[in-house]
Every structure is written in C-alpha cells, then in structure tokens.
Amino acid sequence: MKLILTGILAGLLAATAAHADEMVFTSWGGTTQEAQTKSWAAPFEASSGIKVLQDGPTDYGKLKAMVEGGSVAWDVVDVEMDFAIKAAKDGLLEPIDFNVVPKADLDPRFTTDHAVGSFYYSFVLAWNKGAVSGEPAGWADMFDLTKFPGKRTFYKWSAPGVIEIALLADGVPADKLYPLDLDRAFKKLDTIKSEIVWWDSGAQSQQLIASGEAAFGQLWNGRVFALEQDGADVGVSWNQNMTAADVLVIPKGSKNKASAMKFLAAATSPKSQAMFAEASGYAPINTAAKAEMPGDVVKSLPDAYVDGQINLDMNYWAENRDKIAERWYAWQAK
C-alpha cells in the first residue's frame, strides 16, 4: 500500500519536476521533515529561486527502483548512514561535488564521497511518567520486567540500535560491542519479547509513549524533544545514549543534480544546520553551527551528553546489514 502510494506520488512529482527550477527533497515525514522544510528548503528557495518539492517517506526499495529503472524522481534523499555506505558501493548514488558543497566545517564522521551529514541523533530511553513508577536509569532497566513491568517499544527494522541495547543490558562493555555478538543479543531479547511493541515510524513511537500504550521505549531524541515541547509527561534518560547519523544523498541519475548540489550546500551551512537543530533537537553536523545557536538549545543536543555516549558503528553495519537483517526478521517472526 505504502509502495503504491509513494509510487503514484513519485510519478506525479516526476511529471512536474522536469522544470529546471524545481527539485524534490525526500525525507521521513513528521516533525523531522517539517523542520527540514522550514530550516533548509524555505531559505534555500528564497535565496536560489529553486523550488523544493517535498516527498516521503524515504523508501530504500523505491530509491533502488528509480535508479535501476532510469526514472529518478528524487533529487536529495535523507537516508540512514549505514544504508548510504552500502548504496554507494552498489552504485546507487551520485558522488558529492565538494567544489559546490563546502567541506571544511562538516563533521568528518558523517561525510563520505557520496553523502554529507543531515543531522545526528541519539537513541535515548524515554518513558511515560504516568505509566512508570520510578525512574528507569538505563538500558538494563528496559530488560527488567520485575522492576519495570509493562510494554516497551523498540525500532522495528533491522538497524543499528536494538542489538547494541540488548548487549549493553546484558553487561557487554561499551567498547567491546563490535563485532556484535548476535547469539547473545537475541538470547537477551528473548527475555522480554512478549512485552515488546514495535514502532516503525517516529510518529508512532511518539504516540505509543504519549498514550502510555508502551510504558517506555527506545526513541530518537528529537522525537522526545518534540513530545516535551507539546507538554507530554515524558521522562528521558541520556545514560548510554547512542548516536547515529542521517545523511543526505543524491540518487544516481537525478534530473536536477546541479540544484541538488546547491541544496546540499545550503542545508549543511552553519545557519541552516543551527535552525534545524533548534527546531528538531537533533545535533548539527556542521561544526560551526553551534556559534549560531542559543546556549540553552546547545545544552539540549546529543553532544551535550557525551558522558557514556556510544557511537554506533555505521561501517560495521553497512558491511553486515544483510546478514544481521536475515536473523533479525527471522527472530521477529518467531
């Protein structure tokens, strides 16, 4: 259904995006894409005169279909970094033109030949204060059904995060996570499997926690930030928060490549990055962006919580994504 809908939408967009002064930006929808539209697309439209059409949600199958079918309707796509590394290897992406996109201030952790950082986030532990008595202190508490009964929610797809959480909860030291011990992780996950509710979109993770449908869960910090701003009664623990990045890529064969490069330059500029961080609660990937932001916003970002912070290993995931995915889905379906 989602495939069909995005297909129709992309088809319509492809028909309209043929004009030279238009391009299509695709992201994950919800509060994140709203912030991207406001902080990146709107100022870019004003300064360049290039209209930025929005599409979404990001769909890797769709991206591959477009590139292989030779009919690319998307010009800039927000994807997870491990996917970007893999997709570049598979020849699905255009190389970035660093003559157009200034590289100097971009965080090298999130810059590759085929991708520039979009923003980076932390997976944090969030809970509904009405549904949980006491304060869960960290990932180990997510696996303690006696101390903290109730449903817990995790990211549904095979992606960096849940496996690491299970290993940390089982006592693996943070610096010994990789290579991931899958047997140990799934054994640990088995202990709470009956109590897991899966979320597959950021909006759903917010709904589950805000309604108390799940007492607690692993959420993107920006989604918790948005909940707090809406006045929802949520608690958050930054203990062992786990960082990962989204990156912006240009699908191979983009019809508006030149506009897309200019868009990347604008979106990763200190000012746009600062605006986005302020609106979303996600951290900027341009190191000069912090100078543009109010002090209290800087304090709410993932890089204010570097104590015990864990960087998820995107290169490991890019290499092992398929192998892990196979086991992941087999385990889920059991």
Partner 1 sequence: MSGNLLHRPPILRRPDGIGGALPALILISLFFVVPVVALLLRSVTEPVPGLQNYANLFGDGTYARVFFNTFLVATVVTTVTVIVAFPVAWMLAIMPPALGSIVFGIIILSMWTNLLTRTYAWMVLLQRTGVINRTLMDIGLISEPLPLINNLTGVTIGMVYIMLPFMILPLVGTLRAIDPMTLRAAALCGASPFDAFRRILLPLSLPGIAAGGLMVFVMSLGYFVTPTLLGGTSNMMLAAMIAQMIQSLLNWGLGSAAAFILLSVTMALYALQLRLVGAKRMTGGI
Chain-centroid distance of CA 58 in Å reads 11
Interaction of residue 212 with partner 1, rule CB under 8 A: yes
For partner 1, the binding residue among 51, 151, 184, 271 (CB under 8 A) is 151
The pair phi, psi for residue 124, each rounded to 5°, is -125, 165
Q: Residue 213 or 303: which CB sits closer to partner 1?
A: 213
Q: How many CB atoms lie within 10 A of CB 113?
A: 9
Interaction of residue 330 with partner 1, rule CB under 8 A: yes
For partner 1, the binding residue among 98, 178, 186, 198 (CB under 8 A) is 198
Interaction of residue 252 with partner 1, rule CB under 8 A: no
Interaction of residue 62 with partner 1, rule CB under 8 A: yes
Q: Residue 114 or 156: which CB sits closer to partner 1?
A: 156
Q: Are strands 152-155 and 234-249 parallel, antiparallel or unpaired?
A: unpaired
Q: Residue 29 or 138: which CB sits closer to partner 1?
A: 29
Q: Which residues contact 286 (CB under 8 A, 6 or more apart)?
A: 105, 106, 107, 117, 268, 269, 270, 273
Chain-centroid distance of CA 261 in Å reads 21
For partner 1, the binding residue among 18, 104, 291, 333 (CB under 8 A) is 333
What's the min distance (Å) between Cβ of 152 and partner 1?
13
Interaction of residue 329 with partner 1, rule CB under 8 A: yes
By CB under 8 A, which span of 70-78, 211-219, 283-291, 307-315 interacts with partner 1?
211-219
Q: Are strands 216-220 and 152-155 parallel, antiparallel or unpaired?
A: parallel
Interaction of residue 332 with partner 1, rule CB under 8 A: yes
By CB under 8 A, which span of 114-122, 274-282, 308-316, 326-334 interacts with partner 1?
326-334
By CB under 8 A, which span of 27-35, 45-53, 58-66, 118-126 interacts with partner 1?
58-66
Interaction of residue 31 with partner 1, rule CB under 8 A: no
Quote the CA–CA distance of 89 and 85 in Å, as a whole number.
6
For partner 1, the binding residue among 157, 186, 238, 316 (CB under 8 A) is 157
By CB under 8 A, which span of 44-52, 59-67, 133-141, 252-260 interacts with partner 1?
59-67
Tell me the site size for partner 1, rule CB under 8 A. 24
Q: Residue 30 or 302: which CB sits closer to partner 1?
A: 30
For partner 1, the binding residue among 197, 203, 258, 288 (CB under 8 A) is 197
**Which positions touch partner 1 (CB under 8 A)?**
1-3, 59-62, 64, 151, 156-158, 197-198, 211-213, 322, 325, 329-330, 332-334
